[in-house]
Amino acid sequence: MTINTFSGFNLIEPIQRALLEIGYEVPTPIQQEAIPLVLGNHDLLGIAQTGTGKTAAFCLPILHQLYTRRVPREPRCPRVLTLTPTRELAIQIHQNLESYGRFLNQKYAVIFGGVGQGKQVRALQQGTDVLVATPGRLLDLIQQKHLRLGKVEIFVLDEADRMLDMGFLRDIKKILTLLPVKRHTLFFSATMPTEIQKLANTILTKPQKVEVTPQATTVTLIHQTAMFVERNNKINLLIHLLKNNKRQKTLVFVAMKHMANRVAQKLEKHGIAATAIHGNKTQGARQQAIQDFTHGQVQVMVATDIASRGIDIDGITHVINYDLSNVAENYVHRIGRTARAGAQGTAISLVTGEEKSYLVNIERTTKHPIEIITKQPYHSETAARAAILSIGKAKAQLENRAKRMRR
């Protein structure tokens, strides 16, 4: 039986209230299939690309299970471990957990490399119900004895094929030896090359298999473009674009809450009416920002992904990805805020050399080319060259993977 609404899953009331507040109404195909299986404690093999809604497919039933089991938190011993290949995806999953669990007395932590570990260590010491982590930082903190995996009840391995591509397979195997043998395991991968199939066979017990393809999107109605720019010139390029399009209603996406405020303040200083919306703002402040944007008091709204969920505002002409998400489902959600009700829309992504590989994943998911615009005052040849190399490498990896699967 197909479940057409989130209320049909019989999730606990605090989760249903959160879903209602953030505007989730109709579950995607993977959510329809996976949520009942996870609630039924089945190990799960999910073959799903980004853009299918798989994050909610595992987060929602996990939060429900943690609530119903009522096991006390222990310092440095998470109850759930979600392993993901990149810091950006780890942050996104953590933000989703905070949004879905906003009315629950649970704690969620995220750890990844490239930043100081002090704040992450303190979060672990205070105890966490769900830990989202990248493999390298996870092993570092385990080695330093800041973290133990002996109490993990549920293990989620997300984007397993990307883990393989990025060389994390050895780290994953090491982490598996530290987990309890008796656990609930959820395994997600967009493709199933031989090594990933072997890994799935090793860690899953009598799994249920769910396989879906990304939902059709409105991308064909949206003129999608990308501009290469150095990070310190992003704000200048954004101001340039907005000053040349003063009559247009523009939604700007950033990765972090503090950046939403910073970008909005910079725009205001340059005479561009802007407001910010993010998770640290009260519900009343978020509603006021949406109202000002809807009624044209401000030209620009700067938002994070989680804060934007459920936003359905007519007349948005442009979506600008100030920070390009490497999670294609977030990109699709973002640009879908324009081109509503059959109207045309424009999506512009400001891309640095560090964000170069994200375009490949997005184009692969949407199956729609993104036009590169070089005629702009802050064009970066360095970022453009890095992107061309990355795209070539990614295509070669795809071709090699296809050859392996044909053998």
Contacts with 100 (C-beta within 8 Å, 6 or more apart), sequence order: 15, 18, 19, 56, 59, 60, 63
Provide the terminal-to-terminal Cα distance of the chain, rounded to the nearest Å. 38
Q: What is the mean pLDDT of residues 227-241?
A: 95
Provide the Cα torsion 299, 307, 313, 294; round to 10°.
Answer: -40
Could you tell me the pLDDT band of residue 389, with boundaries at 50, 70 and 90? low
Each residue's pLDDT tens digit, 242-269: 998 776 899 999 988 889 999 999 999 9
How many other C-beta atoms can be found within 10 angstroms of the C-beta atom of residue 373? Answer: 13
What kind of architecture, by CATH, is found in domain 219-395?
3-Layer(aba) Sandwich (3.40)
Fold of the domain spanning 6-211: Rossmann fold (3.40.50)
Each residue's pLDDT tens digit, 181-220: 999 999 999 888 889 999 999 999 999 999 886 544 456 7
Say yes or no to pLDDT of 54 above 50. Answer: yes
Q: How far, in Å, CA of 278 to CA of 24, rounded? A: 17
Q: What is the mean pLDDT of residues 364-369?
A: 78
Going from the C-alpha of 309 to that of each of 83, 86, 336, the distances in angstroms are 24, 22, 11
Residue 358, pLDDT score = 83
DSSP state string for 291-328: HHHHTTS-SEEEE-HHHHTT---TT--EEEESS--S-H
- State the chain's maximal CA–CA distance in angstroms: 60
Residue limits of CATH 3.40.50.300 in the chain? 6-211, 219-395
Q: CB–CB of 178/149 below 8 Å?
A: yes
Contacts with 253 (C-beta within 8 Å, 6 or more apart), sequence order: 302, 303, 304, 305, 308, 319, 320, 321, 322, 323, 325, 334
Each residue's pLDDT tens digit, 10-50: 999 999 999 998 888 889 889 999 999 999 999 999 998 66
pTM metric for this prediction: 0.61
Most confident region among 88-92, 189-193, 236-240 by mean pLDDT:
236-240
